[in-house]
């Protein structure tokens, strides 16, 4: 029993310093933010937000998240429409998006990596998206969230559009002078405990959009991936809580053995044996 206690205490002492793999359940959202001026400087369009959830594979050391894999299609939506009613945003009357993610793989001291997006966002002009007379099409085409350039021309879009994508980062992402900041932290905003329960991460992918319409010559945009982690119940045995469970089980086993030994020395039946005497009487 003493060995069991020593083993558990050693695991508690060494466990936080050991690298480990885990499966983390997550909830979160994928947001597409068209942050450019449309056409009044300072007017920022609200984001299209797609909720999602799933199971992520992670590797961590001392609860500091080192690598993270997000499964494909954890975030998926078709023809989500966001109406724009702010008169200062005219002629923009809405945003429509169809999007889903390919597998994401992130790593590094500042968490980052590639998670391509497929789909398209349309900025609807002059009328609501259901009756728009013009639009600006922003295709993702798996360059957004990964890197690369794509050009689209009419009739896919009202005017020619160029889209340049880039990988994701939990640091600072910039398109020109406009920036968005990511983060990765654990409970209480701890900087080295992201892989713990209630850890969170935001990764940002900058999207450079350019059109042949003068007032939309540059439309800085961003994709934002927000994740909130919780451990899968089966992985609790790898945590301090799991060690506490092992400790409790070991204590109960130790007490049962002591009770059995005491009963044997007194010639009584051990607890729970169902016998009237111990050792059993010969027939």
Q: Residue 237 to residues 54, 159, 195: CA-CA distances in angstroms? A: 21, 57, 15
| Helices 240-265 and 2-14, axial angle in degrees (round to 10) | 170
- Using 50, 70 and 90 to split pLDDT, how confident is the model at 264? low
Average pLDDT score over the chain: 78
pLDDT at res. 190:
58
- Judged against a pLDDT cut of 50, whether residue 6 lies above it is answered with no
Q: What are the tens digits of pLDDT across the range 44-84?
A: 778 999 999 999 998 987 677 889 999 999 999 999 999 98
* The residue to which tokens 């900087």 are assigned: 191
Coil, strand or helix: which one is 187? Answer: helix
Coil, strand or helix: which one is 28? Answer: strand
| % of the chain residues with pLDDT over 90 | 41
- Judged against a pLDDT cut of 80, whether residue 16 lies above it is answered with no
- Using 50, 70 and 90 to split pLDDT, how confident is the model at 95? very high
Work out whether strand 134-139 and strand 178-181 pair parallel, antiparallel, or are unpaired: unpaired
User: 0.75 exceeded by the pTM?
Assistant: no
Q: What are the tens digits of pLDDT across the range 206-258?
A: 999 988 877 777 888 999 999 999 865 444 434 444 444 444 445 555 566 66
Averaged pLDDT, 84-112: 91
Structure tokens at 94: 């809405």
Coil, strand or helix: which one is 217? Answer: coil
Q: What are the tens digits of pLDDT across the range 148-172?
A: 999 988 887 777 899 999 999 999 9
Domain ranges of the chain: 23-232
* The residue to which tokens 């050693």 are assigned: 10
């Amino acid at each position: 029993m003493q060995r069991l206690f020593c083993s558990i205490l050693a695991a508690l002492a060494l466990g936080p310093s050991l690298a480990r793999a885990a499966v983390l359940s997550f909830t979160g959202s994928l947001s597409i933010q068209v942050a450019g001026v449309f056409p009044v400087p300072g007017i920022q369009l609200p984001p299209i937000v797609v909720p999602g959830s799933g199971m992520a594979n992670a590797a961590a050391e001392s609860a500091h998240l080192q690598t993270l894999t997000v499964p494909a299609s954890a975030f998926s939506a078709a023809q989500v429409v966001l109406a724009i009613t702010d008169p200062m945003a005219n002629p923009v009357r809405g945003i429509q998006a169809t999007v889903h993610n390919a597998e994401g793989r992130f790593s590094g001291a500042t968490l980052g990596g590639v998670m391509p997006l497929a789909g398209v966002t349309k900025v609807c002009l002059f009328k609501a998206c259901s009756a728009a007379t013009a639009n600006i099409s922003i295709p993702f085409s798996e360059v957004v969230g990964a890197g690369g350039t794509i050009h689209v021309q009419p009739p896919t879009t009202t005017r020619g559009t160029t889209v340049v994508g880039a990988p994701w980062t939990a640091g600072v992402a910039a398109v020109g002078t406009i920036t968005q900041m990511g983060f990765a932290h654990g409970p209480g905003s701890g900087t080295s405990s992201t892989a713990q329960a209630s850890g969170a991460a935001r990764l940002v992918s900058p999207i450079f959009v350019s059109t042949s319409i003068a007032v939309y010559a540059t439309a800085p945009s961003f994709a934002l991936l927000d994740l909130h982690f919780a451990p899968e119940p089966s992985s609790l045995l790898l945590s301090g809580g799991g060690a506490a469970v092992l400790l409790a089980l070991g204590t109960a086993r130790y007490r049962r053995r002591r009770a059995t030994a005491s009963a044997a020395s007194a010639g009584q039946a051990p607890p729970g044996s169902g016998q009237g005497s111990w050792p059993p009487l010969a027939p």
